[in-house]
Amino acid sequence: MTSAGIRRFTVLASAAASFTWLCWPAIVGLVRDWSTDDNYSHGFFIVPLALYFLWERRDRLANLPPAPRLSGLILVIGGIGLLLAGLLGAERFLSRIAMIVLLVGAIVFVKGWPTLRIAAFPVVFLLLMIPLPAIVFNEMAFPLQLLASRAGEVVLSAAGVPVLREGNLIILAHTTLEVAEACSGIRSLITLLTLGIVFGYFTDTRTWIRTAIAASTIPVAIVANAGRVAGTGLAAHFYGPDAAQGFFHTFSGWLVFGVAFVLVLGIARLLVGLAPAPRPGPGTLPAAI
C-alpha cells in the first residue's frame, strides 16, 4: 500500500471509530429494536446494502478531487446537537436521525457536495433502518386496520357469510376477529417497500422505473393484507375459530407476503417491458448507476 493509501485508510478508520464512539448509544438502541421489533427486523440488512451501493460508486468517488466545504462542519455540529438532545431527552428517533446528519456533514466537510451527490442514494437508503416514531407509526397503522377490516367485511358479505363490522372488529356467527395492529399490514408494507427499493435498484438504472417499482409496493401490500384478513374470516367461518389463529395465521402471513412480492416482480417486468431501456448509440457509454 502506498503512503497516500495508508493516509486515506488512517483517515477513514479514525472517522469511523469517532463516529461509532459518538453514536454508540444510538447504535445499540437501533440493534435492540431490530432484534425485538418484527416491523424493523430488516434493519440488519440496510447497512450492508448501503455499503454495497457505495462500493459500486467507488470509481466515480475516487475520480472526484476533494472539495471540502465549511458548511459540512456546520452540519456536523448540528448533528452532534441533535444527537445530544435525543440522548438526553430519551428521544430515540431524533438521536438516530442525528447519525444521518452527522454522516452527511462529515462527507461534505471532508470531500464536498459533489461527493455527497454521488453517495446520496446509499446515505438516504440508511433512513430505512430507523424505526418511525410511535405517534407516526400509530397514525399509519390504525387507518390500515380499519381499511383491512372494511375490505374483509366486503369480501365476506360478497361470499354470503353473515358478518357485522364494528371498527376493527369483524363479528361472525361463531367468533369475533380483531384486526389488531400486527394485522394492519404495516409490517409487510415496510418490508415490501424496502425490498421494492432494492429490487428496483438492481432491475433498471432509470430513476422513474425504480421509483415506480418502489411505489407499487404500497398498494400491493395493502391489497394483499386485505385479502389475508378476508381469507382468515372465511377460514374462521367454515372451519371454526381455530383456523384463524396459530399455525394457519402465521403461515398465511408468509404466504400472502410471498404473493405480494411476486406481484411486485410482475409489475417490474411489466414496466420494463412497456418501456425498455434505450440502447446506447455508437461511441457512447452506458449510463452510470
For the chain, what are the domain ranges?
A: 3-131, 135-274
Q: How far apart are CA 119 and CA 117, in angstroms?
A: 6
The structure's pTM equals 0.83
Predicted local confidence at residue 91, as pLDDT = 81
Predicted local confidence at residue 19, as pLDDT = 84
* DSSP tally for the chain: helices H, then strands E: 11, 3
Confidence of residue 5 (pLDDT cuts 50, 70, 90): low
Confidence of residue 284 (pLDDT cuts 50, 70, 90): very low
Q: How far apart are CA 202 and CA 219, in angstroms?
A: 21
Q: How far apart are CA 119 and CA 102, in angstroms?
A: 14
Q: How far apart are CA 9 and CA 7, in angstroms?
A: 5
The 3 state secondary structure assigned to 86-127 is: HHHCCCHHHHHHHHHHHHHHHHHHHCCHHHHHHCHHHHHHHH
Cell numbers found for residue 178: 380483531
Residue 281 confidence (pLDDT) above 60: no
Q: How far apart are CA 169 and CA 177, in angstroms?
A: 6
- For residues 210-220, average pLDDT: 93
Q: Looking up cell 400491493, which residue turns up?
A: 220
Residue 2 confidence (pLDDT) above 60: yes
Residue 190: count of CB within 10 angstroms of its CB: 21
Mean pLDDT across the chain, nearest whole number? Answer: 85
Q: Looking up cell 412497456, which residue turns up?
A: 274
Cell numbers found for residue 75: 452540519
CB within 8 A of 175, min separation 6: which ones?
A: 236, 240, 241, 244
| Greater model confidence, 8 or 178 | 178
Residue 96: count of CB within 10 angstroms of its CB: 23
Distances from the Cα of 244 to the Cαs of 87, 234, 249, 261, in angstroms? 42, 9, 6, 23
Cell numbers found for residue 84: 445530544
For residue range 42-101, what is the model confidence (pLDDT) as tens digits? 889 999 999 999 999 999 988 888 888 999 999 999 999 999 998 888 788 999 999 999
Predicted local confidence at residue 87, as pLDDT = 85
Q: How many residues does the chain have?
A: 289
| Distance from the first to the final alpha carbon of the chain | 28
| Greater model confidence, 228 or 215 | 215
Residue 286 confidence (pLDDT) above 50: no
CB within 8 A of 83, min separation 6: which ones?
A: 22, 23, 26, 95, 98, 99, 102
CB within 8 A of 214, min separation 6: which ones?
A: 193, 196, 197, 200
